Chain A
Amino acid sequence: MIRRRKIAEALFKLLSLSALALAIGTLVLLFGALMVDGLGRLDWQFLTSFPSRRASQAGILPAMVGSTLVMLVTACVGIPIGVAAGIYLEEYARRTWLTELIEVTVTNLAGVPSIIFGLLALGLFVYTLGLGPSILTAGLTLALLILPVVIVTTREAIRAIPVHIREAAFALGATKWQTVSDHVLPYSAAGILTGVILALSRAIGETAPIVTIGALTFIAFLPPAPVTSQPPYVSFEWLMSPFTVVPIQMFAWVSRPGEDFAANAAAAGLLLVGMTLVMNGLAIYVRYRMRKRVSW
């Protein structure tokens, strides 16, 4: 009797272990193949060159700059709006059917396929607002994409603050805003930041919405510099510049025939994986550092 149950247990253990091995193994294999193909191409020349018809001379510079600038716009737009919306929903909004509806909608928006956001952006930003297929459009689109995630993580981080900390502030005569800005936000900053970084690292790999709004696949110039030599020294022309991003560049190379371009694509893939890993690592580090200071 006992033996039969033990066998069942051993079988299940084996089953779950092989499932795990399959998952990890695939990942390792994929990453390994990428390394083998791409590591040779990943050099200084590759990082600082423009795309070229000759694979060995092609580089990823414009795509890197494009990705960075798009992320900058996304962060500048998506984070403040998302955090503010999260605070409003959690701290200020009264519980009515309307807020319930908004909550459900926000949660569901996080699961909407990203290409839908691209379609929305094509209609709204590119045509209606006339922003064209620019860095600004891409940044705004990805900001919309990460908004639900930012809102949800903000709310979760805020909810983790114990009631008695809040009550302590209120009992001292603090207003709601004083409580939020002096306590709620600082104490939940670690959680919010972690969520934000993870959302950004998801956005950096997004391809579908960027393709939809009409990003270029071959670009041989950089956007105008944000700093100029003439007054007022700052320029926002780059916002309206055409661009490409790393995943699109990678896709462009993949779709070209020939071994050489495949190597370029693999190198771009490595770069993308690397950037995502760095951002995830940053999120873990931030959470670790700030959690140590805040406890109750």
Chain B
Amino acid sequence: MFAIECASAYRGNSDVMTRPTDSASSDSAGRNEWPKPLKAETHELSFFYGHRQVLKRVSVPIAESNITALIGPSGCGKSTFLRCFNRMHDLYPGTRYEGAIVLHPDSRNVLGREVDPIEVRMRLAMVFQKPNPFPKSVYENVAYGLRVRGVRDRRVIDEKVEQALRSAALWEEVKDQLSALGTSLSGGQQQRLCIARALATDPELLLLDEPTSALDPIATGNIEELLQDLKRRVTILIVTHNMQQAARISDWTAFMYVGELVEFGPTKRLFTTPAKKQTEDYITGRFG
């Protein structure tokens, strides 16, 4: 019910959308320091597996050309939150969203009933926790997003593939083995291949779900460096259970706990002077 009301109320009306001013919880989200301009934002996003509510009215802004990090202990719903953005939950029965996720500049509510999940997934790209290249060639892995969109022109695909592999800092390593299996690369290379695959279709927003948790420190460092370069061109939303990572790479941080947003703010401020006791306890390692 609520989702539909939101959808109709906010579609094409971005002024109303940018500053929801309600309830006592507004301070915790630190609305006075919300970023601008926004690439996307969630408005009181709730999510249910069957009757179990996993997300509770989460409102987070995603600043354009910035890195926004989601931190929190395991099971706090941060991955679930991320997967709402490209409607991955639609693949499984018994899931339900409430609230809205608005993509700017066209203020499209991703969760709107009239919105096809495929339309959303064409605009956003996702990188998963475990590197998951297709058991196809490196080239075909990167080209697949274009093929899905019906691109046939060989030259266009060649160009896009090279561009994406360069953006993912992988080109130099694989340019002579584009026909090798993507699954034959090392773990770190595989994850960069997945990033290249995600970038090949020029997404507006790049969703990363703990992209370095399966990698060694060196590969992790490479990818963190890569994300710093990428954020100039694409807005990034990253889930991480590694607080140091969030502190190192992100511009904005949202701290979630058991399905709720505890605190949102600029990364520097949140890690130095957290407004909430819970946040402080978490980042100082007292729990989680």
Contact = CB atoms under 8 A, between A and B. Distances in A.
Interface string A148-172: 0000000000000010111111111
> 4 tightest CB-CB pairs across the interface, nearest first?
A173-B122, A171-B126, A164-B132, A173-B121
Contact of A170 (B91, B135, B183): B91
Interface of A: 94-95, 162, 164-175, 178, 182-183, 187, 293-296
B237 interface: no
Contact of B135 (A164, A174, A187): A187
Contacts of B134: 165, 168-169, 183
B197 interface: yes
B128 interface: yes
Interface centre among A172, A182, A294 (most CB of B within 10 A): A172
Contacts of A165: 132, 134-135
B71 to A, nearest CB: 22
A293 B201 CA distance: 27
Interface string B224-266: 0000000000000000000000000000000000000000000
Given A167-B91, A295-B183, A172 B135 contact: no
Contacts of B121: 170-173
Contacts of A171: 86, 88, 121, 125-126, 128, 198
Contacts of A296: 132, 135, 183
B93 A167 contact: no
A173 B132 contact: no
Interface centre among A94, A183, A296 (most CB of B within 10 A): A296
A95 B93 CA distance: 9
A137 to B, nearest CB: 41
Contact of A172 (B91, B130, B201): B201
A293 B148 contact: no
Interface in B191-224: 194, 197-198, 201
Nearest to B207: A171
A167 B128 contact: yes
A173 B145 contact: yes
A162 B130 CA distance: 12
Interface residues of B, number: 26
B209 to A, nearest CB: 10
Contact of B132 (A95, A167, A178): A167
Contact of A167 (B88, B149, B197): B88
Contacts of B88: 167, 170-171
Contacts of A294: 135
Nearest to B131: A164
A174 B148 contact: yes
B144 interface: yes
B135 A169 contact: no
Nearest to A179: B148
A88 B128 CA distance: 27
A64 to B, nearest CB: 39
Nearest to A175: B118
B144 A295 contact: no
15 contacts: A95-B93, A162-B132, A164-B128, A164-B132, A165-B134, A169-B148, A171-B128, A172-B197, A172-B201, A173-B149, A174-B118, A175-B118, A182-B144, A295-B183, A296-B132
B181 interface: yes
A175 B87 CA distance: 13
A173 B201 contact: yes
A94 B93 contact: yes
B50 to A, nearest CB: 13
A178 B149 CA distance: 10
A178 B148 contact: yes
Contacts of A170: 88, 91, 121
Nearest to A174: B148
A174 B133 CA distance: 15
B240 to A, nearest CB: 18
Given A172-B148, A293-B181, A296-B132, 18 more contacts: A165-B132, A165-B134, A168-B128, A168-B132, A169-B144, A169-B148, A170-B121, A171-B121, A171-B128, A172-B144, A172-B198, A173-B118, A173-B148, A173-B149, A173-B201, A174-B148, A182-B144, A183-B134
B145 A172 contact: yes
Interface in B145-165: 145, 147-149
A162 to B, nearest CB: 8
Interface string B160-202: 0000000000000000000001010000000000100110010
Contacts of A172: 121, 125, 144-145, 148, 197-198, 201
